[in-house]
Structure 1
Amino acid sequence: MSEHQAVAQPTRILTKQVLAWASWDWGSAAINAVMTTFVFTVYLTSSYFGSPAETSAALGAALAVAGVAVALLAPITGLRSDAGGRRRFWLGVNTVLVALTTAACFFVFPEPRFLLLGVCLIALASVFAEFATVNYNAMLPQISTPATIGKVSGFGWGMGYLGGIVALSIVLFTLVTPLFDWAGANEHNALNLRLVAVFSALWFMGFGLPVLFTVPELAATAKSARIGFVAAYRVLGRRVAALYRTDRHTVYFLLSSAVFRDGLAAVFTFGGVIAAGTFGFTLQQVIIFAIVGNVVAAIGAMVGGVLDDRTGPKSVIVGSLIGLLVAGTGVFLSPGTTGFWIFGLMLCLFVGPAQSSSRAYLARLAPESQEGELFGLYATTGRAVSFLAPAMFAWAIVLATPMAGDGAQRYGILGILVVLAGGLLLLLPVRPPRHG
Structure 2
Amino acid sequence: MTGITEQGGTDAQVLPGAISRGRVFAWAFWDWGSAAFNAVVTTFVFTVYITGTAFGDKDVISAQLGWALAIAGILVAVLAPVTGQRSDTAGRRKLWLGINTFIVVALTAAMFFVQASPDFLLLGLFLVAAGNVFFEFASVNYNAMLAQVSTARTIGKVSGFGWGMGYLGGIVLLLIVYFGFISPEVGLFGVTGDNGLSVRVAMLIAAAWFGLFALPVLLSVPEYRSSAATRRQRVSFLRSYVVLGQDIARLWRTSRHTVYFLAASAIFRDGLAGVFTFGGVLAASVFGFSPGEVIIFAIAANVVAGIATIISGSLDDRLGAKPIIVTALIGLIVCGSLVFLLHDGGQIVFWTAGLALTFFVGPAQSASRTFLARLIPAGREGEVFGLYATTGRAVSFLAPTMFALMVTIFGATYWGILGIMLVLLAGLLLLLPVKAMQDQIG
- Using the TM superposition, give the Cα deviation of residue 284 of structure 1 relative to its aligned residue in structure 2, in angstroms: 2.2
- Using the TM superposition, give the Cα deviation of residue 334 of structure 1 relative to its aligned residue in structure 2, in angstroms: 2.9
Q: Partner letter of residue 330 of structure 2?
A: I
Q: CA separation of 1:9/1:55 partners in 2, compared to 1, >3 Å: closer, same or farther?
A: farther
Q: Partner letter of residue 327 of structure 1?
A: C
Is the 2:268–2:428 contact (alpha carbons within 8 Å) kept by the matching residues of 1?
yes
Aligned mate of 2:153, from 147, 150, 160:
147
Aligned to 2:218: 212
**2:359, 2:18 → 1: CA distance?**
26
Q: Which stretch shows the higher mean deviation, 189-198 or 346-355?
A: 189-198
1:29 is paired with a residue whose SS is helix
Is the 1:184–1:192 contact (alpha carbons within 8 Å) kept by the matching residues of 2?
no
Name the count of aligned residue pairs: 428
Aligned to 1:430: 434
Is the 1:110–1:190 contact (alpha carbons within 8 Å) kept by the matching residues of 2?
yes
Q: How does 1:309-324 map to 2 (within 5 A)?
A: 309-324=317-332
Aligned mate of 1:287, from 281, 292, 295:
295
- Using the TM superposition, give the Cα deviation of residue 220 of structure 1 relative to its aligned residue in structure 2, in angstroms: 5.2
Cα deviation 1:353-372 (Å, max 9, x = unaligned) = 00000000011111222100
Give the TM-score taking structure 1 as reference length.
Answer: 0.94
Aligned mate of 1:392, from 396, 402, 421:
402
**1:203, 1:42 → 2: CA distance?**
20
Is the 1:13–1:152 contact (alpha carbons within 8 Å) kept by the matching residues of 2?
no
Aligned to 1:102: 108
Is the 2:5–2:18 contact (alpha carbons within 8 Å) kept by the matching residues of 1?
no
**1:184, 1:37 → 2: CA distance?**
25
Gaps of at least 5 residues in structure 1 are 402-407
- Using the TM superposition, give the Cα deviation of residue 338 of structure 1 relative to its aligned residue in structure 2, in angstroms: 1.3
Cα deviation 1:160-182 (Å, max 9, x = unaligned) = 11101101111121112239744
Aligned mate of 1:334, from 323, 338, 343:
343
Q: Partner letter of residue 334 of structure 1?
A: H
**1:10, 1:37 → 2: CA distance?**
42
- Using the TM superposition, give the Cα deviation of residue 142 of structure 1 relative to its aligned residue in structure 2, in angstroms: 0.9
Q: How does 1:95-174 map to 2 (within 5 A)?
A: 95-174=101-180
Is the 2:343–2:414 contact (alpha carbons within 8 Å) kept by the matching residues of 1?
no
**2:319, 2:301 → 1: CA distance?**
26
- Using the TM superposition, give the Cα deviation of residue 109 of structure 1 relative to its aligned residue in structure 2, in angstroms: 1.3
Aligned mate of 2:363, from 334, 353, 374:
353
1:18 and 2:27 are equivalent in the alignment:
no
Q: Partner letter of residue 283 of structure 2?
A: A
1:275 and 2:279 are equivalent in the alignment:
no
Aligned to 1:377: 387
Q: Partner letter of residue 6 of structure 1?
A: E
Q: CA separation of 1:276/1:309 partners in 2, compared to 1, >3 Å: closer, same or farther?
A: same
Aligned to 1:85: 91
- Using the TM superposition, give the Cα deviation of residue 395 of structure 1 relative to its aligned residue in structure 2, in angstroms: 1.1
1:139 is paired with a residue whose SS is helix
Q: Which stretch shows the higher mean deviation, 329-338 or 202-211?
A: 329-338
Aligned to 1:411: 415
1:110 is paired with a residue whose SS is coil
Is the 1:75–1:377 contact (alpha carbons within 8 Å) kept by the matching residues of 2?
yes
Q: CA separation of 1:14/1:323 partners in 2, compared to 1, >3 Å: closer, same or farther?
A: farther
**2:338, 2:5 → 1: CA distance?**
46
Q: CA separation of 1:303/1:3 partners in 2, compared to 1, >3 Å: closer, same or farther?
A: closer
- Using the TM superposition, give the Cα deviation of residue 6 of structure 1 relative to its aligned residue in structure 2, in angstroms: 2.5
Percent sequence identity is: 58
Q: CA separation of 1:190/1:134 partners in 2, compared to 1, >3 Å: closer, same or farther?
A: same
Give the TM-score taking structure 2 as reference length.
Answer: 0.93
Aligned-pair Cα RMSD in Å: 1.9
1:6 and 2:6 are equivalent in the alignment:
yes
**1:165, 1:374 → 2: CA distance?**
30
Query: Following TM superposition, where does structure 1 have runs of at least 4 consecutive aligned residues deviating by more than 6 angstroms?
Result: 7-14
**2:296, 2:186 → 1: CA distance?**
18
Q: CA separation of 1:354/1:181 partners in 2, compared to 1, >3 Å: closer, same or farther?
A: closer
Aligned to 2:10: none
1:45 and 2:54 are equivalent in the alignment:
no
**2:263, 2:105 → 1: CA distance?**
31
Is the 2:19–2:149 contact (alpha carbons within 8 Å) kept by the matching residues of 1?
no
- Using the TM superposition, give the Cα deviation of residue 280 of structure 1 relative to its aligned residue in structure 2, in angstroms: 2.6
Is the 2:97–2:138 contact (alpha carbons within 8 Å) kept by the matching residues of 1?
yes
Gaps of at least 5 residues in structure 2 are 8-13
1:237 and 2:251 are equivalent in the alignment:
no
1:409 is paired with a residue whose SS is coil
Cα deviation 1:66-89 (Å, max 9, x = unaligned) = 000000000000000010010000
Is the 1:86–1:217 contact (alpha carbons within 8 Å) kept by the matching residues of 2?
yes
2:379 is paired with a residue whose SS is coil
Cα deviation 1:162-213 (Å, max 9, x = unaligned) = 1011011111211122397444530110111112211111111110111001
Q: Which stretch shows the higher mean deviation, 209-218 or 181-190?
A: 181-190
- Using the TM superposition, give the Cα deviation of residue 44 of structure 1 relative to its aligned residue in structure 2, in angstroms: 1.6
**1:419, 1:184 → 2: CA distance?**
46
Q: Which stretch shows the higher mean deviation, 408-417 or 177-186?
A: 177-186
